[in-house]
Amino acid sequence: LLTFLSSPVIVVHCSAWAIPDDMAKASVDGVKSTATAGFLAMKRGGSALDAVELSVRALEDNPTFDADHGAVLNTNGEVELDSIIMDGRTLAAGAVSSVKTISNPVSLARAVMEKTDHIMLTDRGANMFAESVGIPAVPTNTLVTECERTEREKAKNYAVEVKEGHDTVGAVAVDCSGNVACATSTGGIRNKMVGSGGYADNLSWAVSCTCHGESILKVTLARLFHVEQGKRAPEAVEVSLRYMGDRVRGGGAILVSRTGEWAAKFTTERMAWAAVEREVLWYGLNPKEEFKETLRQ
Amino acid sequence: MRSMMYTSGHRLVVMSYSAGFCSCPALTQQWFQAGFLVVTTSSPKNVLNIRHWVNQDTSISILIFKLCGHPMSPCVTQTSLNLFRIRSLNRFTCLTISLSRASLADMLPVLVVHGGAGFIPKERVQMSCAGVQAAVRGGYSKLQGQGSAMDAVVEAVTLLENDHHYNAGLGSVLNAKGEVEMDAIVMDGRYLASGAVSAVRKVANPVQLARLVMDKTSHLCLTGEGASQFARSMGVPEVPEESLITEYARMRWKKNLAADANPVECQMGKMGTVGAVAVDAEGNIACATSTGGMLNKMEGRVGDTACIGCGGYADNRVGAVSPTGEGEAIMKVTLARLILFHMEQGRSVEAAADEALAYMKDRVGGLGGVVVVDPQGEWSVRFSSLQMAWAAAQQQTLHYGLYTGEHFTQNIDDPY
C-alpha cells in the first residue's frame, strides 16, 4: 500500500474538557508549538511514528498539561501514567499503564513495541522494563506541580474522587510515505487501552481520543472510526462522537487518514488542538474555532 | 394483530422513500422494547417502502390507520425478502408496524463457554471438554433460575478458574519469574458497563474481582498493586501464590526457560484463556473472560483479556464476544469489537467471526477462537486454531465440541 503525499500532516490535542481561561493561552500555545515541531520533523524525513512520539514527549514535558509533568495524583499520592503508541503500517502497538516515576511514558510505550514481543506492560513490570532499557526513573516530586498538590489536599476530604483527571495529550500523523501513527498519554483516568485512547491503521485512520476515560473505553472510541471508512474525516469524527454522546457522554478526538485528510472535533466545552498541513498551522480551543496562520519555521 | 414476544435489541431499520414522501428521521435505526414502532407521517402519499432487518423467522404485520384511528386493510406487497411496499390510501397519518417472533422466547436464555483455543495435548483433551460442559451447566442453571446474563457468565468463568486444567485462576501459566499474574474482564451490555483487572496477583477468582471493579468503582480497569489494594478493601481474601500454581504449569515454565526452548512448541499445550457470553430471558447480554496470560511472559505484561473491545465486548443492541488465542494479535485488530462491527453491518454470528478471524490471521498472523452471541439468541463458536474446547446451553440442549466442525448435542439433563 504505497501512497506518496505531497505534504505530511500532523494533529495534536491536549484534552477535551472545560479548560479554564487562565490556562487557555498556555494550552493553545503549547499545542501550536508542538504541532510545528512534529511537522518539521516529518519534513526532514522523519516517520509519522517519530513525529507522534516527539510531539507527545513535548506535551508530556509541558507542565500545563496533566500528561506527565502536571500529572494528577492518585489516592495514594502517587503519579501513575498511561500511554499508548501505534504504527498504522503493521498495527504494531506499545502501551504502558500505571507506570510511576517515568519522565516520558510515550517513549517507554515505544520501547515496549520495539523491544519486546508484547503490546502492554503495567505497574511494577513496566517500571522494571524501563530500568532494563536504561530509561531513568525520576523522583515523583518533579512530576507533580504545586497546583496539583494543593488540589489534592483539598480533595482529600472527600471520599469519592472529585477530580476527574483532565489533560490527556495526543498526536496523530501521516508522513510522506502515507504511513499513519498515533500516540496518547495521560496521568489521568485510564483510557489507554488499545482501540480506546488511540488506534492507527493505514487502511483507515489514526485516531487519538480524549476526555472521560471510562466513557471512551465503553464505546472503544478510537476503534469506532473503522466503521466510518467511507466518510470524510470531519463527518467520521462527528458521527462517532455523537454515538459516544448518545450512549455515554461527550469527548474529543483527532484523526488523520493516509491520504492526508484530518479532523479535530469535540463535544465537550473546549479542546486545545493544532494541526499543520502544507506549511499552514491550524488551531482552536472553543467549539467551531478554526484559526490559521502560516507556519513560522 | 399477532402477539409480540420479543425483547430489547430487536432491530428494525426502516427507510421510506418515494416522491414527495418525507422520511421520518425517527425511523432510522429504531430500537424498541415493546414491539411496536409507531410512525407518524407528515405528508400522506401513495407509496411507502419499508425495509426490515431482522431474522428470517420474524414476521411483519403492517397495519395502516387513518386519521381517525380506524384500521384499514393494508395493501402490502412483499417485493423481496426485506422490502415491503405499502400502497396507502389517501390520508393516512399513522402507520403501525408490529413484529412478532414466535420462536424468540425459545431461543433465550443462552450461554456459550470456551476453554481456550490452541493445541491441547491428547492426555488433557477429556478433562478440557468435561470442564467446559460443567461450567456451562453451572452458568445455565443460573439463567434458568431467573439469574442475569452477568450472573451466568461470572459463574461459568469462576468454575473454569477453579478448574486447574485451564489457564485461568488455579492452573494459570507462569510469567518469566515463575509467578502468577492474571487478567480478567466482564462487560454488561445494558449500559456498556465493564470491569477489568490486569496483572493481578494472589486472588482465586479474578473474574469476580473484575465484576467488583464494575459494580463498586467508577473505573473500568484496575491493575497490579492497585487491584490488590482494591481487593483487600472489598474483603476479597488474598491467597498464597503457591495455591494457584500447578505442577503442569511449573513444568511448562521450566521447559520454556531452557535456552534451546522452541517458543512455538512451548506455547502449544498451554490450556487457554476461558470465557463466556450469554443472553438472559430479559434479553440482556454479558460477557466474561479470564486468563493467566502468556507462558513465560514478561512481568507486567497485559494481553487482550483485560482490554475492553479486545478481550471481550457486550452490547445489548448488537451482541457479545469472548475471544481466546494469541493475545497481541487480538489486540492489534481489537477482535471482539471487530466482530460486533461486522454484525452491525448485517453479518451473521458465524460470518462475522470467520471474517474477523481470517483478517487477524492475514493482517497480523495470529490464530484464535471466539464465542459469539446476538440479541436474538443466535450463537456461534469459531476458531482458526486446531482445537477449542467449548460448550453451549440453550432450550434444554447441551451443545459441545473440540475440533473444527464438531458439534455434538445431548439433552442437558442427561448425565455427562
pLDDT tens for B3-32 read 222 222 333 334 332 222 333 333 333 333
A134 burial (CB, 10 Å; 0-12 / 13-18 / 19+) is: exposed
Separation CA B90–CA A275 (nearest Å): 55
Which residue in chain B has the smallest CA separation from A119? Answer: B328
| Spans of all domains in chain A | 9-68+83-89+163-294
CB A220 within 8 A of CB A237: no
| B283 annotated as a binding-site residue | no
Q: What phi, psi does B400 have (nearest 5°)?
A: -160, 165
d(CA B293, CA B291) in angstroms, rounded, equals: 5
* Tens of pLDDT, residues B31-59: 333 333 444 443 344 444 444 434 333 44
Show the cell assigned to B391.
460448550
On whether any CB of chain A is under 8 Å from the CB of B310, the answer is yes
Please report residues of B whose CB lies closer than 8 A to that of A214.
218-220
Nearest to A169 by CA among A239, A91, A252, A290: A252
Q: State yes or no: ipTM above 0.90.
A: no
- Per the listing, cell 510505550 goes with A109
Which residues of A are catalytically annotated? 168
Of B193, B199, B309, Cβ closest to residue A220: B309
Looking at the predicted structure, is the pLDDT value of residue A163 above 80? Answer: no
- Closest-CA distance of chain B to residue A108, Å: 14
B193 shares contact with chain A (CB less than 8 Å): yes
Q: Does the CB of B364 have a partner CB in chain A at under 8 Å? A: yes
A220/B313 touch (CB, cutoff 8 Å), yes or no: yes
CA distance B169 to chain A (A): 19
Q: Which of B7, B273, B289, B305 is catalytic?
A: B273
Quote the mean pLDDT of chain B.
Answer: 78
Contact B221 A121 (CB under 8 A): no
Q: Is B304 known to sit in a ligand binding site?
A: yes
Beta strands in B253-338 (DSSP E): 274-279, 285-291, 301-302, 313-315, 319-325
Q: Cβ(B323)–Cβ(B200) under 8 Å?
A: no
Q: Which residue has the cell 432450550?
A: B395
Cα distance between residue A8 and residue A277, in whole Å: 6
Collapse the DSSP code of B114 into the 3-class scheme (helix H, G, I; strand E, B; otherwise coil) and give the result: strand
Residue of A nearest to B332 (CA): A91
With b for 16 or more beta-carbon neighbours within 10 A and e for fewer, the A248-279 pattern comes to bbbbbbbbbbbebbbbbbbbbebbbbbbbbee
Domain A9-68+83-89+163-294: which CATH number of 3.60.20.30, 3.30.420.10, 3.40.50.1370, 1.10.3720.10:
3.60.20.30
Residues of B in contact with A247 (CB under 8 A): 192
Instruction: Please answer whether residues B115 and B160 qualify as being in contact, where contact means their C-beta atoms are separated by less than 8 angstroms.
Output: yes
- At A270, give phi and psi (nearest 5°): -145, 160
Provide the residue-wise pLDDT of chain B in tens; the chain has 416 residues. Answer: 222 222 223 333 343 322 223 333 333 333 333 333 444 443 344 444 444 434 333 444 444 443 333 444 445 555 444 444 555 434 433 444 444 443 456 788 999 999 998 888 888 888 989 999 999 999 999 999 989 999 999 999 999 999 999 999 999 999 999 999 999 999 999 999 999 999 999 999 999 999 999 999 988 899 998 999 999 999 999 999 999 999 999 998 998 887 666 555 555 545 589 999 999 999 999 999 999 999 889 999 998 999 889 999 999 999 999 999 999 999 999 999 999 999 988 889 999 999 999 999 999 999 999 999 999 899 999 999 889 999 999 988 999 999 999 999 999 888 76
Instruction: Using DSSP bridges, classify how beta strands A120-122 and A92-99 pair: parallel, antiparallel or unpaired.
Output: parallel
Closest residue in B to A90 (Cα) is B364
Q: B309 and chain A: CB distance < 8 Å anywhere?
A: yes
Task: Please check whether residue B359 touches A, CB under 8 A.
Answer: no
Distance CA B116, CA B124 (A): 13
Cβ contact B358:B103 at 8 Å: no
What is the per-residue DSSP string for B38-99? Answer: EEE-SS--SEEEEE--S-TT-EEEEEEEETTS-EE---EEEEETTEEEEE--S-EEEEEEEE
Q: Is B124 one of the annotated binding-site residues?
A: no
> What's the pLDDT score for residue B255?
86
pTM of the entire predicted model: 0.80
Structural domains for chain B: 11-102 (no CATH), 105-411 (3.60.20.30)
- Inform me whether the pLDDT recorded for A27 exceeds 60: yes
The verdict on whether B40 is a catalytic residue reads no
